[in-house]
């Protein structure tokens, strides 16, 4: 006889995570801002179609709600990393055009066909396997061809790409998109951009009547010559600055708040945190925050004696991190905040309210891409839009 939980009114049902008080963080994603950013990018590349890169769980922002918001804004073509992401998008957007950037996986043709997902192929052997599947299954859903123009990552080398030109010219070839990727598009003056553009332009002329795509977020701002038929913004959709040498033209998307779980006082001369790397130079009020590097707030944003780390917004004021960030916790100096404005249980802002993704990236020693995709799964998530608001635990 198997054991089961009694349904007696005296026995409560099992608790789930959503039933418990959240002592950690709340991540708010503004879907309207994502849609507005897409519209701005589409207007900037007015002669081209504007797609969207939504790989890596839409840069950590949530694949399903982001895909739906972008589709409502008018986006029709989506780029994901792999089949798993394609399946999620297809369930949400039955009519969307979906490309899988990581290419064709061996013996997986039927999955691409079932999902109506087009692989982005950048290897001649990969293409041969795809062609064999299409011939056997009589599948005509199409594929993208990725040509390497100088990044030396994915993409057909020049000789293999040249060998495809006769195929393009003799009739049905199954290629629905020609694409490449710029290595230094965020550096507007980098001569590599012009070299890659010239090479890609030569190939696009040979791939007659095949739509072409070169521009990522930053390349959209390099001018119309980079736009071709489809642009592929990614990070800019989520608020990362695509023009690092200028003011950010994109709206902020993500706001991250975490909870104060304790306040305390450190006397002058006392140290804080692992290693005792930060020393109080006055009687100092401290707040302990329920977030750390396990939540995507990098240890490299720590502070030490003579080293300023990241800031946190408390009651409208910037307060510096004090000492090392640990796995689940960080400590901040709240001495200059009014006493009643920072108490146990209050929320503080780690990202947003003037602290940008790019500012955090600077303190983390990385890029805004990594900041977004590292956002922890322990946060409660709120999706904001004028149409609706949804929350997940």
Q: Which residues are part of the catalytic machinery?
A: 55, 274
The tokens of 256 are what? 């991250």
Q: Which of 172-211 are b and which e, b meaning 16 or more Cβ less than 10 Å from the residue's Cβ?
A: ebbbebbbbbbbbbbebeeeebeebbebbeebbeebeebb
| Cα angle 329-264-360, degrees, rounded to a multiple of 5 | 40
Tokens of 321: 């991190």
CB atoms within 10 A of CB 77: 19
Asked if 142 and 148 count as a contact pair (C-beta separation under 8 A), the reply is: no
3-state SS record for the chain? CCCCCCCCCCCCCCCCHHHCCCCCEEEEEEHHHHHHHHHHHHHHCCCCEECEECHHHHHCCCHHHHHHHHHHHCCCEEEECCHHHHHHHHHHCCCCEEEECCCCCCCCHHHHHHHCEEEEECCHHHHHHHHHHHHHHCCCCCEEEEECCCCCCCCECHHHHHHCHHHHHCCCCCEEEEECCCCCCCCCCCHHHHHHHHHHHHHHHHCCCCCEECCCHHHHCCCHHHCCCEECCCHHHHCCCCCCCCCCCCCCCEEEEEEEEEEEEECCCCEECHHHCEECCCCEEEEEECCCHHHCCCHHHCCECCECCCEEEECCEEEEECCCCCCCCEEEECCCCCHHHCCCCCEEEEEECCECHHHHHHHHCCCHHHHHHCCCCCCEEEEECCCCEEEEC
Angle (nearest 5°) at CA 27 between 21 and 33:
145
């Amino acid at each position: 006889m198997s054991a089961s939980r009694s349904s007696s009114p005296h026995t409560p049902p099992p608790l789930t995570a959503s039933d418990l008080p959240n002592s950690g963080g709340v991540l708010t994603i503004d879907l309207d801002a994502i849609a507005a950013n897409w519209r701005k990018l589409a207007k900037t590349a007015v002669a081209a179609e504007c797609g969207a890169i939504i790989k890596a769980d839409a840069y950590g922002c949530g694949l399903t709600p982001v895909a739906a918001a972008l589709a409502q804004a008018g986006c029709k073509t989506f780029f994901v990393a792999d089949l798993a992401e394609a399946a999620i998008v297809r369930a949400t957007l039955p009519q969307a055009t979906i490309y899988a950037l990581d290419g064709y996986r061996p013996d997986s043709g039927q999955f691409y066909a079932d999902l109506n997902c087009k692989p982005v192929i950048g290897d001649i052997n990969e293409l041969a396997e795809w062609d064999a599947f299409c011939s056997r299954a009589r599948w005509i859903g199409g594929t993208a061809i990725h040509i390497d123009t100088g990044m030396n990552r994915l993409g057909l080398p020049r000789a293999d790409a040249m060998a495809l030109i006769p195929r393009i010219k003799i009739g049905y070839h199954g290629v629905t998109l020609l694409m490449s990727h710029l290595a230094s598009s965020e550096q507007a003056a980098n001569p590599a951009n012009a070299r890659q553009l010239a090479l890609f332009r030569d190939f696009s002329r040979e791939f007659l009547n095949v739509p072409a795509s070169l521009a990522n977020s930053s390349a959209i701002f390099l001018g119309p010559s980079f736009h071709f038929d489809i642009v592929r913004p990614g990070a800019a959709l989520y608020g990362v600055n695509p023009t690092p040498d200028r003011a950010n033209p994109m709206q902020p998307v993500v706001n991250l708040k975490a909870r104060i779980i304790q306040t305390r006082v450190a006397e002058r001369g006392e140290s804080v945190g692992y290693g005792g790397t930060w020393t109080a130079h006055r009687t100092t009020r401290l707040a302990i925050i329920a977030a750390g590097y396990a939540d995507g707030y990098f240890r490299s944003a720590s502070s030490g004696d003579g080293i300023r780390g990241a800031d946190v917004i408390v009651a409208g004021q910037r307060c510096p991190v004090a000492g090392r960030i640990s796995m689940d916790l960080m400590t901040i100096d709240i001495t200059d905040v009014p006493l009643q404005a920072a108490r146990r249980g209050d929320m503080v802002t780690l990202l947003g309210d003037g602290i940008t993704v790019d500012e955090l990236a600077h303190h983390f020693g990385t890029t805004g891409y990594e900041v977004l995709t590292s956002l922890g799964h322990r946060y409660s998530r709120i999706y904001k839009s004028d149409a609706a608001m949804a929350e997940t635990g």
